[in-house]
Amino acid sequence: MIRNKMFLPNRGMGPIVFLVVVLAVMIGALLLSSGLIEEDQPVPREDRGASTTISLDTSPFDPKVADWGALDDRTELGLQSTPVAAFRKAAEIVALMPWGRMKDCGNSVRDGQFGFATLDAETILANPGAWRGVPVEVVGKLVEVADFDLFDAYDMKLPDGRYEVKQGVMRLRERAHGEDLPVRFTLIDDQTEDLPLLVPGTEVKIQGVFFKLHALDGKEGPETGCWLLAKRIFRSFDLPAEDAIDLGMLDYVRDAELAADASRSVFDEPPIFHLLSRVYHGFRDAEVVPMKGKETRALLERPKDFRGKVIKMQGRVIKIERWSMASWFPELSPEDGPISEFWITYVTSDGYVPLAVMWLEEPEVDLTTNNQVNLEAVFYRVWGYYNANGKATKAPLLVGRYAIQPLRIGGEGGLDPVSVGIAVFVVLALALVFLVLRHDRKRRALFEDTRRARKQLGRGPLSEKIAGPEEGAEGP
């Protein structure tokens, strides 16, 4: 049988053919992977608290104070008395004036400002007449609230026929208004549907019209305070002072059992403000728990074991959201607290569970989809997270400590992990082919020597038969 050398290469060509095939496959895989791998894209950023441009009416609100009647809040008797006729007239005017009109109108006390002016305790005590009828807002802590019957007290009804309203007392937040004063409020508007949970001790904001100074029960007896005809009551917030932080309140945090039942309003519970204040002032001497990959799922399985602890982890940023506090607390003012906005970064360490991390300062702006980051955050609770398709899932909510530290794998401009893996595989394949080729050459040399030796041994006896007896040998 004749060997066809064109299609059946000899034994020494096998490793070379294998080497060519391996190189072709590796180069093709490298080119294919470079085309399939997505280029780094900026992490999506959403602004969830963007303010809208409002067309303001620059004309000031006219409360027609001159039509209210006689009012005395500069004498001891005037502070203690209730001017019924003036209250009726003022309540009617305030009830008929829309809240939206007051929110946008010019301010007669402070030039260049619009809407509800932040009440200044010192100036209103010194000159109440200048503030009378002015739309103002106050923030502070609710002391008491109850149903109040205007018909029984003042023999009156509001223009819409109602006579049952809310009336209560709150105390001003000193750092926002200059002094800690009591404030009586009578809620004129019907706010039944969106009335916040009014429980003594709740931080609230009240927007309305200043009526008069009035004698109220204070902390140590009778005290001069303010009386407002309120249009709206909102939930407010206040970060506790550093010496008033009580992280023991974290023991009362409620975790979501079902993602669909978890409210995104994490500010409904007071503990979040104590935690934010602790992070704002510096979260020191905290227990740090390192976690990797799927270990972060323990936050969902055993939230009570990790609440208030610093989780040190590594992950990939999926999305960044910017939130304005005004989107959580209607009509928020800068005086309401030191935090007017915050950010949420969604990070995953296992590619499955999204971790929502709140930051009081804006994270790095140059993060990309392939960025890995190191971060430390204080675990707060399990809440409901809704993905882009509207599907609800449970997710851990944390408050970031320090700043996000981007970690670029492979260095700037280097190969991605897949390309590095293919390159390593190519090197190993080449080393394997070299060893096989070297071993094959040794075996081939040994085979050739053995075959020549066998040919040599076989050639000896056969040549003797062909040559016959030597010359001169005697015949039989």
Q: How far apart are CA 190 and CA 193, in angstroms?
A: 8
Token output for 285: 């001497």
Q: Is the model more confident about 16 or about 145?
A: 145
Average pLDDT over residues 152-176: 92
Token output for 127: 């000159």
Contact in structure between 223 and 216 (CB atoms under 8 Å): yes
Using only C-alpha atoms, the chain has a radius of gyration, in whole angstroms, of 41
Q: How far apart are CA 128 and CA 472, in angstroms?
A: 157
Residues contacting residue 216 through CB under 8 Å, at least 6 positions apart: 169, 182, 184, 222, 223, 224, 225
Token output for 213: 């100074």
Average pLDDT over residues 201-227: 90
The pLDDT value recorded for residue 213 is: 95
Q: Which of 70-79, 110-119, 278-287 has the lowest mean pLDDT?
A: 110-119
Residues contacting residue 205 through CB under 8 Å, at least 6 positions apart: 137, 138, 139, 233, 234, 235, 236, 329, 331, 332, 333, 336
The owner of tokens 């062909």 is 466
Evaluate if residue 168 carries a pLDDT over 90.
Answer: yes
Evaluate if residue 361 carries a pLDDT over 70.
Answer: yes
Q: Is the model more confident about 342 or about 39?
A: 342
Q: Each residue of 425-473: pLDDT tens digit?
A: 677 777 776 777 777 777 777 767 677 777 777 665 544 544 555 544 4
Q: How far apart are CA 282 and CA 311, in angstroms?
A: 16
Q: Is the model more confident about 224 or about 29?
A: 224
Q: Each residue of 193-208: pLDDT tens digit?
A: 778 778 888 888 899 9
Evaluate if residue 333 carries a pLDDT over 70.
Answer: no
Token output for 124: 């209103």
The three-state DSSP-derived secondary structure of the chain is CCCCCCCCCCHHHHHHHHHHHHHHHHHHHHHHHHHHCCCCCECCEEECCCCCCCCCCCCECCCCHHHCCCCCCCCHHHHHCCCHHHHHHHHHHHHHCCHHHHHHCECCCCCCCECCEECCHHHHHHCHHHHCCCEEEEEEEEEEEEEEEHHHHHCCCCCCCCCEEEEEEEEECHHHHCCCCEEEEEECCCCCCCCCCCCCCCEEEEEEEEEEEEEEEECCEEEEEEEEEEEEEEECCCCCCHHHCCHHHHHHCCCCCCHHHCCCCHHHCCHHHHHHHHHHHCCCCCCEEECCHHHHHHHHHCHHHHCCCEEEEEEEEEEEEEEEHHHCCCCCCHHHCCCCEEEEEEEECCCCCEEEEEECCCCCCCCECCCEEEEEEEEEEEEEEECCCCCEEEEEEEEEEEEEEEECCCCCCCCCHHHHHHHHHHHHHHHHHHHHHHHHHHHHHHHHHHHHHHHHHHHHHHHHHHHCCCCCCCCC
Question: Long-range contacts made by residues 256-263, C-beta under 8 angstroms, separation at least 24?
Answer: 256/381, 256/382, 256/383, 256/384, 256/394, 258/384, 258/394, 259/384, 259/385, 259/392, 259/393, 259/394, 259/395, 260/384, 260/392, 261/384, 262/382, 262/383, 262/384, 262/392, 262/394, 263/383, 263/384
Evaluate if residue 136 carries a pLDDT over 80.
Answer: yes
Banded model confidence at residue 114, pLDDT cuts 50, 70, 90: confident
Start-to-end CA span in the chain (Å): 44
The type of residue at 409 is I
Name which of 353, 347, 357, 343 is nearest 394 in CA terms.
353
The type of residue at 476 is P
The type of residue at 413 is G
The pLDDT value recorded for residue 155 is: 94
Evaluate if residue 1 carries a pLDDT over 50.
Answer: no
The owner of tokens 């000159």 is 127
Q: How far apart are CA 247 and CA 286, in angstroms?
A: 12
Contact in structure between 316 and 372 (CB atoms under 8 Å): yes
The pLDDT value recorded for residue 69 is: 85
Banded model confidence at residue 108, pLDDT cuts 50, 70, 90: low
Q: How far apart are CA 452 and CA 193, in angstroms?
A: 105
Q: Each residue of 64-77: pLDDT tens digit?
A: 888 898 888 989 99
Q: How far apart are CA 117 and CA 207, in angstroms?
A: 9
Banded model confidence at residue 112, pLDDT cuts 50, 70, 90: low
Q: Is the model more confident about 284 or about 154?
A: 154
Token output for 329: 């607390």
Name which of 418, 425, 414 is nearest 23 in CA terms.
425
**97-101, 228-232, 460-464: range with highest mean pLDDT:** 228-232
Backbone angles phi, psi at 131, to 5 degrees: -100, -10
